[in-house]
């Protein structure tokens, strides 16, 4: 259940697990094979990356990358699949770093990788003289969302960045150049108001601003930085634009601050950072505006992954990967929340915090079990109920029903506040069938489960179960005509107009039947008496 996208509430309670099946939304044209593979993924728990809330053409959707099927997945707030976006063709390497929606959800930004040989000139610049160096070329795409996610711009790292910028120097140069050198390793992409792009490259320790025509405007960090800075960073992730104008830009990013054991860290620990850039060509300066240090203190490093998110209210959210450790900070750096899971071996690529309302289209899940007591020969019905993805459930109501969902009483036999992802309700008696009802905070009904049959152990036999079993057997022996009659009685009971019509019909039927019975009764009495019937008029005339 762990390998999947997940949603937790502000108290750390699980709200939604993507390790279960999700269905395509009705009316969406999703290839049958792709949808089938997706459902297998969601039930078999393959990796998902960059799971977040995104604006897609003005509508909130959940987005994540599914590298196994070379796609990005977009779900609506009912957890139905709305879009499956190809991110790499067959033969191309899948990049799992980014699916980022921009420009009010009209543009999607993502990466993919391809292997290629660079020119002899590029190879010679790093001292590789024998033949052309082979590399892993990172490309990014800008897609037109409204036009079926068609690419409208593509950019290649190999065409704009020299191999000499790379700090990925493990192994000898011939080894790197013969094994598709991952010389840049891009990991995030954002977009400026002027249409330029902000790109983070892990293996050059550099953040780039790239013009709409593909030319590099400036570099922050790395071996050819355009800024004078009072700080260093390394192997950074998740560079984001906070604000930008003609002279100043504020960025956030996660500074991993460590490369390999052979290279010195660039800070005392990994950290979240907000930096201010003066981008005037006459004086390009960078300074630390705020940093958010590792909550476990100096010497703690996150080797890879992680992200920093500045929320609309200025609060800063930081993901530290190991154990799903996440922290919240005030804008001035004060730690106000620290959360991690008990399974410290778990890791996450990124975590985010959003205001989100989930309304699943699937009904709540219910399991009902009858348990008995040998001491007093009684039965208890124990019901566990859960609604994967529902964010607004306040209370659960439990109803005892028959096999078609008819309830004995409008009052629930049990009701409890929601107690985490799964809530247990208990009824002191035997309920052969049950229905669970989810209630909102204002007393509104959010959803109901299907009719669920209670599981009864073969060894369990109490007076209560025997009585309910007899009742159910009687219900099941009813013919269709009998069930229709019961339905008619039910309609008469609840509908005044039906009562009047039914009464008039029954009254007229009774009147006709009574008259016929009266005539038949007196005719029989006359025939049985000693009186002879008088002769008819024609008979009296006979001699």
Q: What average pLDDT does this structure show over 345-359? A: 94
Q: What average pLDDT does this structure show over 280-299? A: 95
Q: Are strands 378-386 and 395-401 parallel, antiparallel or unpaired?
A: unpaired
- E strands, 392-492, are 395-401, 414-417, 423-427, 433-439, 445-448, 452-453, 455-456
Place of tokens 């009685």: 489
Is the four-CA dihedral 9, 13, 15, 18 of positive or negative sign?
A: positive
Give pLDDT, residue 25.
Answer: 54
Q: Using the CB atoms, write b or e for 86-108: b if 16+ within 10 Å.
A: ebbeeeebbbbbbbbbbeebbbb
Q: How confident is the model at residue 471 (pLDDT cuts 50, 70, 90)?
A: low
Give pLDDT, residue 345.
Answer: 85
508: helix, strand or coil: helix
Which range has the worst mean pLDDT, 21-35, 180-194, 310-324, 450-464?
21-35
Are 361 and 80 in contact by the 8 Å Cβ rule? The answer is yes
**Is the confidence at residue 360, as pLDDT, over 50?**
yes
**Is the confidence at residue 373, as pLDDT, over 80?**
no
Could you tell me how far CA 229 lies from the centroid of its own chain? 41
Place of tokens 């690529």: 349
Q: Which is nearest to 139 in space by CA: 174, 89, 101, 194?
A: 89
Q: pLDDT digit string (tens) for 61-98? A: 999 998 888 889 999 999 998 999 988 877 677 899 99
Give pLDDT, residue 533.
Answer: 36
Answer with the residue of higher pLDDT: 461 or 405. 405
Alpha helices, DSSP H, located in 159-253? 173-178
**Is the confidence at residue 148, as pLDDT, over 80?**
yes
Specify which residues 415 forms β-bridges with.
397
DSSP assignment letter at 163: G
**Is the confidence at residue 492, as pLDDT, over 60?**
no
Give pLDDT, residue 53.
Answer: 97
Length of the chain measured in residues:
543
Alpha helices, DSSP H, located in 340-479? 463-477
Give pLDDT, residue 275.
Answer: 98
Instruction: Establish how many alpha carbons lie within 13 A of residue 369's alpha carbon, considering only the half-sphere containing its beta carbon.
Output: 8
Are 138 and 155 in contact by the 8 Å Cβ rule? The answer is no
Q: What would the DSSP string read from start to end of 309-334?
A: EE-TTS-EEEE--GGG-EEEE-TTS-
Percent of the chain surpassing pLDDT 70: 79
Are 243 and 249 in contact by the 8 Å Cβ rule? The answer is yes
Give pLDDT, residue 508.
Answer: 64
Distance separating the N- and C-terminal Cα atoms of the chain: 111
CA distance 87 to 104: 21
**Is the confidence at residue 536, as pLDDT, over 50?**
no
CA distance 98 to 110: 5
């Amino acid at each position: 259940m762990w390998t999947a996208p997940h949603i937790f509430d502000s108290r750390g309670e699980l709200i939604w697990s993507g390790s279960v099946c999700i269905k395509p939304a009705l009316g969406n044209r999703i290839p049958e094979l792709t949808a089938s593979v997706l459902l297998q993924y969601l039930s078999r728990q393959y990796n998902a990356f960059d799971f977040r809330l995104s604006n897609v053409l003005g509508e909130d959707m959940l987005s994540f990358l599914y590298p196994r099927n070379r796609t990005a997945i977009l779900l609506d707030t009912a957890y139905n699949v709305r879009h499956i976006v190809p991110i790499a063709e067959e033969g191309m390497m899948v990049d799992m770093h980014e699916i980022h929606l921009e420009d009010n959800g009209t543009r999607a930004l993502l990466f993919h990788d391809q292997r290629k040989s660079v020119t002899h000139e590029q190879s010679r610049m790093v001292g590789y003289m024998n033949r052309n160096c082979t590399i892993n070329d990172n490309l990014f795409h800008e897609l037109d969302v409204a036009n079926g996610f068609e690419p409208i711009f593509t950019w290649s790292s190999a065409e704009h960045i020299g191999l000499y910028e790379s700090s990925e120097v493990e192994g000898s140069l011939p080894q790197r150049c013969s094994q598709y050198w991952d010389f840049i390793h891009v990991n995030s992409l954002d977009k400026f108001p002027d249409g330029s792009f902000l790109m983070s490259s892990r293996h050059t320790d550099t953040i780039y601003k790239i013009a709409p025509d593909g030319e590099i405007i400036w570099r922050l960090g790395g071996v050819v930085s355009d800024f004078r800075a009072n700080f260093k960073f390394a192997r950074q992730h998740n560079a984001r634009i906070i604000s930008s104008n003609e002279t100043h830009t504020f960025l956030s990013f996660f500074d991993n601050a460590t490369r390999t054991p052979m290279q010195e860290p660039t800070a005392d620990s990994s950290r979240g950072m907000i930096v201010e850039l003066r981008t005037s060509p006459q004086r390009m300066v960078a300074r630390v505006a705020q940093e958010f240090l590792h909550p476990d203190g100096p010497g703690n490093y996150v080797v890879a992954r992680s992200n920093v998110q500045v929320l609309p209210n200025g609060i800063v959210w930081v993901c530290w990967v190991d154990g799903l450790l996440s922290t919240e900070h005030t804008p001035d750096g004060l730690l106000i929340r620290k959360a991690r899971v008990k399974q410290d071996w778990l890791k996450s690529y990124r975590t985010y915090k959003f205001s989100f309302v989930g309304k699943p289209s699937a009904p709540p899940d219910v399991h009902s079990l009858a348990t008995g007591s040998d001491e007093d020969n009684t039965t208890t019905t124990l019901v566990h109920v859960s609604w994967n993805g529902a964010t607004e459930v306040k209370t659960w109501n439990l109803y005892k029903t028959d096999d078609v969902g008819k309830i004995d009483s409008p009052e629930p036999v049990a009701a409890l506040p929601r107690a985490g992802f799964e809530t247990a309700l208990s009824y002191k008696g035997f309920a052969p069938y049950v229905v669970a009802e989810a209630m909102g905070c204002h007393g509104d009904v959010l959803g109901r489960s299907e009719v669920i049959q209670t599981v009864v152990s073969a060894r369990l036999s109490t007076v209560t179960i025997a009585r309910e079993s007899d009742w159910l057997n009687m219900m099941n022996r009813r013919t269709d005509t009998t069930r229709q009659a019961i339905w008619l009685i039910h309609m008469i009971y609840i509908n005044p107009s039906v009562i009047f019509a039914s009464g008039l019909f029954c009254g007229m039927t009774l009147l006709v039947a009574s008259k016929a019975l009266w005539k038949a009764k007196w005719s029989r009495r006359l025939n049985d008496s000693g009186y002879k019937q008088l002769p008819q008029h024609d008979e009296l005339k006979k001699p």
